[in-house]
């Protein structure tokens, strides 16, 4: 069957796998926050605000994977890292770099 060998099916499977990896990293981050006391429980209103961030991190991980030609485990690992790090951590890192470039602490 030609549809089984098409690139389209492989792209769909890569997207599903990458989305699952981002979700796993995202859940690991939330559970780490619960354990450290930053969150009281898993299902909160803050979770509703984090879901769009998870979608953005999926898009970023997919873009990086596509740009560097990552497949399989490399792409999944990048998805887990992107889901765990999240946009807030990236913002903190970028602000630290910007402060260093500007000559701050």
* Model confidence pLDDT, tens digit, residues 10-30: 778 778 888 888 888 888 888
At residue 1 the predicted structure's pLDDT band, cuts being 50, 70 and 90, is very low
Q: List pLDDT tens digits, range 40-54.
A: 888 888 888 788 888
Q: 3-class secondary structure for 28-56?
A: HHHHHHHHHCCCCCCCCHHHHHHHHHHHH
pTM of the model: 0.68
User: Are 9 and 3 within 8 A, CB to CB?
Assistant: yes
Q: List pLDDT tens digits, range 51-69.
A: 888 888 888 888 888 899 8
Per-chain mean pLDDT for the chain: 82
Structure-token match 């970028």, residue found: 94
């Amino acid at each position: 069957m030609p549809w089984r060998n098409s690139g389209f099916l492989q792209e769909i499977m890569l997207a599903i796998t990458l989305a699952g990896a981002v979700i796993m990293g995202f859940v690991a981050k939330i559970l780490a926050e619960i354990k450290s006391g930053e969150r009281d429980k898993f299902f909160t209103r803050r979770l509703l605000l984090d879901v769009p961030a998870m979608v953005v991190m999926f898009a970023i991980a997919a873009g990086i994977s596509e740009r560097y030609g990552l497949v399989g485990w490399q792409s999944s690992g990048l998805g887990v890292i992107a889901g765990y790090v999240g946009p807030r951590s990236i913002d903190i890192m970028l602000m630290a770099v910007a402060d260093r470039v500007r000559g701050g602490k």
